[in-house]
Amino acid sequence: MNRDMSYEAVMARKNEIMKMAVGIDYNEFEMGGLAFDYEKMMREVGYSIEDITRIQSETSVGNTPLIELKNITELVRAVSPSGKGARIFVKDEAANPSGSFKDRRASVSAYRAKTQGYKGIISATSGNYGAAVASQAAMRGLKCIVVQEVFDSMERGQPEILEKGRKCEAFGAEVVQLTVGPELFYEFLCLLEETRFFNASLYTPFGIAGIETLGYELAHQVRERTGKDPDAVVITHAGGGNVTGTARGLLKAGCKNTKIIGASVDLTGLRMASDNDFNRKSFTTGHTGFGVPFATWPDRSDVPRNAARPLRYLDRYVLVTQGEVFYMTEALSQLEGMERGPAGNTSLAAAFAIAREMNRDQILVVQETEYTGAGKLPSAQLTFAKEMGIKVYRSDPSENKPGERIVIPEHPSQIKVKDVDLMQLKRSYIKNCLENSHLEKLSAQDIGFLAEETRLDEETVERIIDNLGVI
Amino acid sequence: MDAKKGDWVQIHSIILKPEERASHLPEDTKRVPLEMWEKGFILHDANVGDEVEIETVIGRRAKGILVKVNPVYEHNFGEPVPELLNIGMELRKILEGEGHE
């Protein structure tokens, strides 16, 4: 084959390559203007929750334990006003075969790839998702390639990503390791074209529908244990899939009043595509570098229409600092005897602060944990951070500065959440829609779509559009 | 020869030179090439620094400069971190202490 493999030529073939690699014709869901039929896409391309449960049980995914964190709840109450301190439960997603909730996402893609006759499956990810795809591929008899962004230009590897790469190799996957830069996508496209494997994108309806079982199981487990619905669920938020899938599962279980709270590690100020900043952060996911851009423009992903649309579901979005998450990771290990984390404990750190605002009879669920070990432990990350010149010390976490200082709290009462203004994210989302669509006038259908996307009423959407002055 | 045919090795290649990189990158990233490392079984005897061909664990062939023979996982558990060492004891003390029910 004498194809032009230059950067420009391959990027220009993006849509053609993706159509072959995910087998979805996204045009079927476009409605003209800027709207598309999200629920139709989820219904027709995805699978029902019963189908997903069956697919996942074939590879031992899901049905993870719900664990009440009694000592951490006790600690919350020890530092809260009388009558405050919700019961905290955690869904122990580390019990999935590859050690994280990402098995739920990978399971459906691997099933789809196998049933559609693909020989293998590829994923572009530096996260636990790589190990999940590799593990599911091993079980389904598929070949697997994982493409990771892992080194800076000095060939220093992020310890956590190195560990995730090792785990992929343990499951028999080929791991392609790259330096920093969004052109990873170019290499990914080259590999898709060369191998004709399935793209296990995080953002297809398969990847999102796979998480719905998490919310669904969680709802039933909480009801069984406490006789009521969870009052709130805290979800570590990065690309939006975890929030979207979990919230959809909760809704399918009938939890209409459960508050959906997203939580990210605050990495404000660090540039994600920067070679210098890459190894100045101690969290490789669950942070604002993904959480904010993916909420305000989900269709930046590798597929034309992202099935992860967090603004449709979020009731609240909060930030915690790196030091607070390390502190809570230590607390989980020391008080509950569960060595888990790190990024999965972002929601735990947020839950600790939020539980202090809630009443004692209320139920707060942290919806994931992840496996830990070499490279991933706080000791591994903080040793690396110190080598990179980051100051690590104990004080009030409000002194935190991403890329410069990691502040480990001196007392649990110092753990606080910072609320992100969701209205501002919704305005940004609407602005991005208008700018990317280049439309001169919006139809009633477009306004209705934006209202659904942002959970605002149409009048508010119209007022925002008028104020933006883009069209 | 550093590597014999069939040895497990790591190869390196430059995917994009600085001038070929995407336009919207931060300046520090634009100044450096996009590099790639792959592992597999080498298809012929070679020395470190030679251009070689490998077969990966899934049977794909790739070419690049031989950089390591039998590459080691070097990430670890890190050193004891003084800033974390007391947290467990402190929290247990709070739970044992008075001032709450």
Cβ(A270)–Cβ(A281) under 8 Å? yes
| CB contacts, 8 Å: A333 with chain B | 88
pLDDT (0 to 100) of residue A342: 87
CATH tag, A7-21+100-204: 3.40.50.1100
Cβ(A353)–Cβ(A347) under 8 Å? no
Q: Which two tokens stand for residue A449?
A: 């779509």
Of the candidates B32, B57, B84, the beta carbon closest to that of A326 is on B84
Angle between helices A49-58 and A102-115 (to 10 degrees): 90
Contact A7 B100 (CB under 8 A): no
Of the candidates A151, A155, A408, the beta carbon closest to that of B84 is on A408
Nearest chain A CA: its distance from B72 CA (Å)? 10
Angle at A468 between CA A465 and CA A471, to 5 degrees: 70
Whether B87 has a pLDDT exceeding 60, the answer reads yes
Residue A195's contacts (CB-CB under 8 Å, 6 or more residues apart) are A119, A120, A122, A143, A145, B60
Ranges of each domain in chain A: 7-21+100-204, 56-99+206-419, 426-468
Q: Which residue has the tokens 């390791």?
A: A177
Q: Which two tokens stand for residue A393?
A: 């010390």
Contact B36 A378 (CB under 8 A): no
Contact B32 A382 (CB under 8 A): no
pLDDT in tens, A154-210: 999 999 999 999 999 999 999 999 999 999 999 999 999 999 999 999 999 999 999
Nearest to residue A112, comparing CAs of A15, A23, A39, A42?
A: A23
Of the candidates B58, B94, B99, the beta carbon closest to that of A145 is on B58
Q: How far apart are CA A331 and CA A336, in angstroms?
A: 7
| CB contacts, 8 Å: B57 with chain A | 169, 172-174
CATH topology classification for A56-99+206-419: Rossmann fold (3.40.50)
Nearest to residue A468, comparing CAs of A435, A422, A421, A439?
A: A435
Q: What are phi and psi of A120, to 5 degrees?
A: -155, 180
Nearest chain B CA: its distance from A381 CA (Å)? 7
Please list the pLDDT of chain A residue by residue as tens digits (471 residues).
578 999 999 999 998 999 999 999 999 999 988 999 999 999 988 789 999 999 999 999 999 999 999 999 999 999 999 999 999 999 999 999 999 999 999 999 999 999 999 999 999 999 999 999 999 999 999 999 999 999 999 999 999 999 999 999 999 999 999 999 999 999 999 999 999 999 999 999 999 999 999 999 999 999 999 999 999 999 999 999 999 999 999 999 999 999 999 999 999 999 999 999 999 999 999 999 999 999 999 998 889 999 999 999 999 999 999 999 999 999 999 999 999 988 889 999 999 999 999 999 999 999 999 999 999 999 999 999 999 999 999 999 999 999 999 999 999 999 999 999 999 999 999 999 999 988 888 999 999 999 999 999 999 999 999 998 877
If you measure CA to CA, which chain B residue comes closest to A383? B78
pLDDT (0 to 100) of residue A440: 87
Nearest chain B CA: its distance from A289 CA (Å)? 15
pTM of the full predicted structure? Answer: 0.96
| CB contacts, 8 Å: B92 with chain A | 334-335
If you measure CA to CA, which chain B residue comes closest to A175? B38
Per-residue HEC secondary structure of chain B comes to CCECCCCEEEEEEEEECHHHCCCCCCHHHHCCCEEEEEEEEECCCECCCCEEEEECCCCCEEEEEEEEECCCCCCCCCCCCHHHHCHHHHHHHHHHCCCCC
Of the candidates A74, A177, A384, the beta carbon closest to that of B36 is on A177
Contact A177 B38 (CB under 8 A): yes
If you measure CA to CA, which chain A residue comes closest to B71? A166
| CB contacts, 8 Å: A183 with chain B | 15-16, 21-22, 34
Contact B91 A331 (CB under 8 A): yes
Contact A330 B88 (CB under 8 A): yes
| CB contacts, 8 Å: A180 with chain B | 29
pLDDT in tens, B53-80: 999 999 999 999 999 999 999 999 999 9
Nearest chain B CA: its distance from A370 CA (Å)? 16
Contact B26 A271 (CB under 8 A): yes
Whether B101 has a pLDDT exceeding 50, the answer reads no
First to last CA, chain A: 46
Contact A187 B39 (CB under 8 A): no
Cβ(A64)–Cβ(A92) under 8 Å? yes
pLDDT (0 to 100) of residue A155: 96
Cβ(A344)–Cβ(B41) under 8 Å? no
Which residues on adjacent β-strands are paired with residue B52?
A: B64
Side-chain half-sphere exposure of B39, counting CA atoms within 13 A: 22
| CB contacts, 8 Å: A275 with chain B | 26, 28-29, 31-32
Cβ(B100)–Cβ(A76) under 8 Å? no
pLDDT (0 to 100) of residue A1: 57
| CB contacts, 8 Å: B95 with chain A | 71, 74-75, 78, 335
Nearest chain A CA: its distance from B4 CA (Å)? 21
